[in-house]
Each structure stands twice: as C-alpha cells, then as structure tokens.
Structure 1
Amino acid sequence: MNEKPKRPRFTEEFKADAVRLAMSESVPTARVARDLGVHPNTLYNWVAKHRAEHAGERPTDTVSDDEREELRRLRREVRILKEEREILKKGGSLLRQGVPVTQRYRFINEEKANHPVRTLCRVMRVSRSGFYDWQKRPLSKRARENAALLVQIDEIFEANHKRYGFRRVLRVLLARGHHVGKHRIARLMRENGLFARKRRAFCRTTDSRHIYDVALNKLNREFTAAAPNQAWVGDITYVPTAEGWLYLAVLIDLYSRRVVGWAMSRYIDKKLALGALDMALNHRRPEAGFIHHTDRGSPYAADDYQGALKHAQATVSMSRKGNCWDDAPSESFFSTLKTELIYREEFATRDAARHAILRYLMWYNAHRLHSFNDYVSPMQFERFMLTNDEAA
C-alpha cells in the first residue's frame, strides 16, 4: 500500500517572499505559484491575507509642486539615458573595431520597433541616410534565413534574462524543431552582440576555527542521487550592495539541482543557515537518513543547527578543511548565480538585492535549462521523472 505523500509546510519567510513576488511581478499569480511549487489557491490566500492586514496603509505624499516638476525633468533625462544604455547593452559590442557596419544596420533594423531610428542611429554612430540606403538593398536567401533565425535567438536570449550562451540557445532551437549547427548559432550571437556573461574563477574556503565538533565527509563527492531528498548540499555566499553585504544561504537537492531552501540576512550566523534548513525541511519533508552536506563553518557546526539536523534524523556530512571542491555543486550554483545575476547588477539596497535573488531563484528552479538534467529545469526534471516512475 502506497503511503500518502506528506503535505509540505511553508515557513513565514517563504510565505512573505512568495507574496512579494506575486504582488510585484507582471506575470499571473498562478504562474508565480507554479514556479515556486505552491498550489495557486494557497498563494491567493496568502496574498489576500496580506492585503487585508495592510488595507489601511497608504503612502504619504509630501512632495511640493516645484519638487514634482524637478522630478519630471529628471525622469525624462533618466528615460533617455536608460534608452541609450539599453541600446548599448544589446548592440554595444557592434561598435568594436573590425565589426562590419552592416551588422549595425541589421541591429537598427531589428530594434526600430522598440526605439526611434534617430536614436538608434545616433547611439550606433551611423547616419540615417546610410541606414535607409542599406534597407533598400536586396538580401540573399542565406541572409534572410539568418535574419529569421536571429529573431528567435534574440527572443530566447531575452526571455532568459540574457543568461544563455549559444549551447543553451541551441538546445531550445532544437527542441522547437530547427535543424541548425552550433557554429552558426555561435557566429550569429557573436556578430550581433548576444554574449552571456562569462564565469569568473571562484573557490571560497571556510574558516573552521571554532569550538564545535565537525562531521566526516560521508558524501565523499558522490554528487548524484537516485531520488529526491536523498542528499542535500548547502553553502553561504555574500552579495555586495551599497548598504553593505547581503548573505545568502541555500540548500540544493542533488537529484535535480533544485534549490529547496534559502534564506537571506545582513548577518552570517546560525540563524541564516537555520532559515534555509527550516524552509527545506518544511517544504520537502525528507525521510530519515537523508544526507546533509555542507562545509565545516560555524553556522553549520553550531549546536542549534546540529540539533535541528538530529531532530530531522539527517546523516550529517561536512567537507574537509579548506577543500571547496567537496561541495562542488554549491560552489557551481553560486558561480552561476553571480555570473548570471550578481555581476550584472549594482544593488542600491539589500532589499533590492533580495528581490532580484528571489526572482532569480524562482526562474532557476522552474525554467533554467540545467546541463546536469540533460537541459531541462530542476522542476521539470522532477516532474518528468515522477511521471515516468508512476507509469512504470
């Protein structure tokens, strides 16, 4: 007789994050719920409760007429600068020496639906007459095919927040039925300035000088699992903001590479680590004996954290001293996070960084193609394998 699946429980922090995403995103609440792994009705109830509790709150408008006019002027200037910056972010690489001017014309032609031609020509340093003359020239069959292909490449690149390189773009195109080669995709992306951010070298060791006991490395670099919730790995990293550091703790399921628990704080301590563990335990409800692997830093070795693991009947595993590769999946995730988000942004506040990271985690779990899962997202991989198991 099959056991009834355990119903997940959600921490207050997770509920608050989910409500914030649902109320701030332009996508439907039902999609936010799906991407977070929550039933839509549950998220609707959380949002309704939040709105009821904050129904009487209204922002106070104390801005004078002169200040309001100055704000309007500044906003106009900011819009112009943002538009120029957006154009340069997409096509700035085409201004490099040696890139044919026809590539700039092609870029302007593709972007003219989003920006005025006058602005595009000024930013891309070409004359409008030259651009219009180029438009009148007939295109070859290959050029027309490349132009059509580039529309889809750009759509995939933008839909995934400019984080996909040519390999992942190629995977999406192949899934759509396009028979194209990797060199052609790489060339088209390169010529049109569609560059995913390159990884930086990253290996962080942990200060293990504390009074707590440490566990043996029982995981022993076995970074695969036969089913969900058999083995989790975790770590803590830092995110720079203008207000100071924001620390992020995560727990990752080795079965699908899904981030099953996270927490953020201005402090790096056991409370931060416990927040991520509490989310993961309540949401995933693992069976006794699952492996929990982290470094041997004090947040994880602390008595409170170890007590929570003992209560969950976890098998505790820790990396060897100074060896970050014993927790390579966590290091790899943080490298991806920093490459695809942190190094691309400058956060004015910790709150802004927190919101951006929440959006990234939602996208990462639900949509990002993961090479470990044969280029499907962690949540898609779990659903696919569960369906196959039930069919068998």
Structure 2
Amino acid sequence: MGKPNFSDEFKRDAVAQITERGYPVAEVSQRLGVSAHSLYAWKRRLARQVSGDASKDAEIRQLKRELARVTEERDILKKANRVFRQGCKVRYAFIVEHRDRFGVRAMCRCLAVQPSGFYAWQTELIRRAWNDSGKVYGYRKLHDDLLDHGETCCPNRVARLTRLAGIKAQIDYKRRPGSYGGKPSLAVDNTLDRQFDVAAPDRAWVTDITYIRTLEGFAYLAVVIDLYSRRVVGWSMQSRQTTDVVLQALHMAVWRRKPKQRVLIHSDQGSQFTSMDWAAFIRAHNLEHSMSRRGSCHDNAVAESFFSSLKPERIRRRTYKTREEARQDVFDYIEMFYNPVRKHVRNGMLSPVEFERQQILKAEGV
C-alpha cells in the first residue's frame, strides 16, 4: 500500500490539535495514525505560509473591500440620478427595486436616507396589507399580496419583518402529522434489515446527515460509520444539504478503508441518497446500497445513536460563530475523541480504534 496522501484540510486540522487545542504531538500522532515527523513537517509548513501570507492577504483584502465599495457607490449614483430630488418614499422604492443588485445600507448612504426609516416604511406596507386581509394572512400570502401591488421583496425579508411587527397568520388548528406505515422502499431494498452486529470490518456501513447551528447559518454533517466497531470512517461538513456532502463522506470512507470486498452501505430515503450521482458512485466503488423503510428511523439506529452522542456531548455545549469553527470542533470530536478514546459498551468498553486493534491482535494470535 502506498503512502497516504492526506488532504491539505486534514493536515491543517491535525496541526490545529497541537497549536490550538494543546494536545502533545505524540498523542495526536497515536490517535490519528500519523507519524510525529509528518506532524512536525506539516506544522512548519503551515507556520511559514501563515507568516508569509498574513500581511499580504490583509492588504489585498482591504484593497478589494475599498474597490468594491467605490464601484458599488458609483453604480448606485448612476442608477439613482433621477430620484435624488424626489421624496423619501420614491427613494425607498428605488432601494426595493435594486436591492438584488446593491446593498441596502450602501444605497441608503448614497441616497441620504436612514436604513431604519427604510425598514420602518417596509414594515408599514406589510402591516397595511395585513390589515386589508382582515388580519388573517401569514408572511407567504402577505408576500404575494405585496407583489400584486408592484412591491419587489423576497419571502424571507417579509417573514423577518412580520416577526418583528408581531404579525401572525390566524390558524384554527394544527393537523397532526400523518404516520407512515413502514412500507419498504420502492427504490432500494432494506438489505441490512437492522442487522447491526457484523463479524468483520468493512462489511456494512451506515450513513446519515444532521445539521449544526452556527451564528453564520446551518452546517450539515454527513457521516459514514462501520457497524463492526462503530468507527466513523468518513465524514464531511458543508453549508448546504446536497448530494455532494454525503458523497464526500463516502469518498473519505472508501479512501481510508480501501475495502477488499463488496461493502453494504445503508442510508435513509433522503434525496441525497436517491440521486443519480450517489448511485453512480455506489456502482463505481463496488458498494451495495441498502435503504431504510419509509418513516422508520429505527432502520438506521446506529447513525442516529452517533448523532445522539455528538450533540449533547459537544455541539450543545458550544456556540459556534462560523461554520469553519464548527467543522474544526467536529474534527476534534470525531478524530481525537470519538474514534480513538470514547468507550462503547458494545465494544466491551473499548474505543472503536482500540477495539479494531485488539481484534487484529487476536486474529494474529498475539
């Protein structure tokens, strides 16, 4: 087997465990299965890049921001030439009409109006439309009403303004969500059929997606877990819940484990797992797809159990400012704690890594 070709992202995360989290190099080397020599080399290389590029990058970013600001203001002034001498409402209407192209605050600055006045004017329009409906419309119908009156606005903006104004739709009752009958998938059979205990590694994997809240927005985490040891063999985080996030997690699993035989990969019926790209990847890498029955979360209980450990043990104890901060913390949890350290009752109180190691020694008669 050739020398592993770790991604730059993996190298940065590994070095961060030493420089930011305070782990000793020897411990990081043992947990990640990477030599100390490689870790030191990665650390030196990243240090040189940071020191050499930091000041240059800061100057470039500042120049780009200034250029973008000047360019935007120039374009706004060209477009708004006819409304400078008009009243505030005309200028507000110009801002609404061009908000898809220019920033609201930039237009307010160029047109000499206050952003607070603009938003108050929008809220008043929404309240008037709500009153005209007999105070029964929610934000979706209010948005449609505003469009009918020639106002340009997006549904998310209307939803935010209705919340700020205390406007709510009048609903008589909530219908109870229907329950699914647990019918088999029409696309792929449930081959796994809740047989979560397997006798050897890389015979059966399970995969699923969850979301993580950050101040920057949601981040979506996809994982691939080997049922033999409950080890997370692949994972990926992205800002959107697309097929690519599950493909990247599965790609990591295939690259890391390099299975010698056909592997069963089990998922739910999410759209990410029924796409053509997913099916093509399955075929190309000698995998067999198994899919949960509709509405039956117990068919993928191992993946659900992992998320039930991750969130209370790590995610809910922190407030992430950015998606990148969340991804680094997930790296720390999976690669530095869950796989090499966290004990599992099912593994005889051994971590997934230690369980696999001891099984190998036992098979070799050591």
Give the TM-score taking structure 1 as reference length. Answer: 0.57
Match of 2:325 in 1: 352
Cα distance change on mapping 1:8 and 1:234 into 2, 3 Å? farther
SS at match of 2:52: coil
**Structure 2 residue 343 is matched with structure 1 residue 369:** yes
Tell whether 2:33 aligns with 1:37. yes
Question: Partner of 2:198 in structure 1?
Answer: 225
Question: Which structure ranks higher in relative contact order (CA pairs < 8 Å, sequence separation ≥ 6)?
Answer: 1
Q: Indicate the structure (1 or 2) with the bigger Cα radius of gyration.
A: 2
In structure 2, the partner of 1:123 is none
2:219 to 234, 243, 246: 246
Of 386, 389, 392, the residue aligned with 2:360 is: 386
**In the alignment, residue 35 of structure 1 is paired with which amino acid?**
R
* 8 Å contact kept, 2:267–2:291: yes
Q: Which amino acid aligns with 2:330?
A: I
Q: Does residue 308 in structure 1 map to residue 304 in structure 2?
A: no
CA gap of 1:218–1:227, structure 2 versus 1, over 3 A, is same
What code does the residue aligned with 1:48 have? Answer: R
Whole-angstrom distance in 2 between the partners of 1:322 and 1:271: 23
1:317-353 Cα distance to aligned partner (Å, 9 max, x none): 1111111110100000000111111122222222222
Structure 1 counterpart of 2:31, which letter?
Answer: D
Partner residue of 1:216 out of 181, 189, 201? 189
Indicate conservation of the 8 Å contact 1:229/1:255, yes or no: yes
Residue of structure 2 in register with 1:23 after alignment: 19
Check whether the contact 2:17–2:23 (CA below 8 A) recurs between aligned residues: no
The structure 2 residue matched to 1:292, chosen from 265, 278, 303, is 265
CA distance in 2, matches of 1:294, 1:14: 25
| 1:6, distance to aligned residue in structure 2 (A) | 7.3
The RMSD of aligned alpha carbons is: 2.5
> Structure 1 residues 343, 218: closer, same or farther in 2, change over 3 A?
same
Q: Does 1:47 align with 2:43?
A: yes
Quick one: which of 227, 242, 255 aligns to 1:282? 255
1:40–1:306 Cα change, 3 Å? farther
Residue aligned with 1:357, SS? helix
Instruction: Output the CA distance in 1 between the equivalents of 2:207 and 2:2.
Output: 23
**Aligned-pair distance for 1:261?**
0.6
The unaligned stretches of length 5 or more in structure 2 are 60-178
Identity in percent: 41
What is the one-letter code of the residue matched to 2:299? Answer: D
Name 2:145's counterpart in structure 1: none
Q: Distance in 1 between matches of 2:311 and 2:270?
A: 21
Aligned to 2:315: 342
For the Cα contact (< 8 Å) 2:216–2:321, is it kept in 1?
Answer: yes
Partners of 1:334 and 1:220 in 2: CA distance:
20
Question: Would the alpha carbon gap of residues 248 and 387 (structure 1) be closer, same or farther in structure 2, given more than 3 Å must change?
Answer: same
Once the two structures are superposed, the pairs formed by residues 178-217 of structure 1 within 5 Å of their partners are 214-217=187-190
Is the CA contact (8 Å cut-off) linking 2:222 and 2:245 kept in structure 1?
A: yes
Gaps of 5+ in 1: 62-204, 207-211
Q: Is the 8 A contact 1:289 1:314 kept in 2?
A: yes
Q: Deviations over 1:210-229 (max 9, x none)?
A: xx983211111010121111
Q: TM-score, normalised by structure 2?
A: 0.60
Report the Cα offset of residue 12 of structure 1.
4.4
* SS in structure 2 of the partner of residue 375 of structure 1: coil
Deviation of 1:22 after TM superposition, in Å, equals 3.6
How far 1:24 sits from its partner (Å)? 1.9
Tell me the distance in 2 between the aligned counterparts of 1:310 and 1:47: 38
Please tell me whether the aligned partners of residues 237 and 334 of structure 1 are also in contact (alpha carbons under 8 angstroms): yes
Q: Choose the corresponding residue for 2:302, options 302, 326, 329.
A: 329
Match of 2:293 in 1: 320
- After TM superposition, give the deviation of residue 23 of structure 1 in Å: 3.2
Q: CA deviation at 1:282?
A: 0.8
* CA deviation string 1:46-89 (max 9, x = no partner): 3333334434023669xxxxxxxxxxxxxxxxxxxxxxxxxxxx
Q: Could you say if the C-alpha distance between residues 285 and 30 of structure 1 is closer, same or farther in structure 2, counting changes exceeding 3 Å?
A: same
Alignment correspondent of 1:58: 54
CA contact (8 A) 1:11 1:282 kept: no
Q: Distance in 2 between matches of 1:19 and 1:306?
A: 35
Q: Secondary structure at the match of 1:264?
A: strand
CA distance in 2, matches of 1:386, 1:252: 19
Which residue of structure 2 aligns with residue 264 of structure 1? 237
Alpha-carbon offset, residue 356 of structure 1: 1.6
Residue identity matched to 1:366? P
Which letter maps to 2:363? D
Distance 1:319 1:7 in 2: 37
CA contact (8 A) 1:10 1:283 kept: no
Q: Aligned equivalents of 1:53 and 1:288: distance in 2?
A: 41
The answer as to whether partners of 2:341 and 2:351 remain within 8 angstroms in 1 is: yes
Number of aligned residue pairs: 240
Q: For the residues of structure 2 that align with 1:274 and 1:50, how far apart are their CA atoms?
A: 28
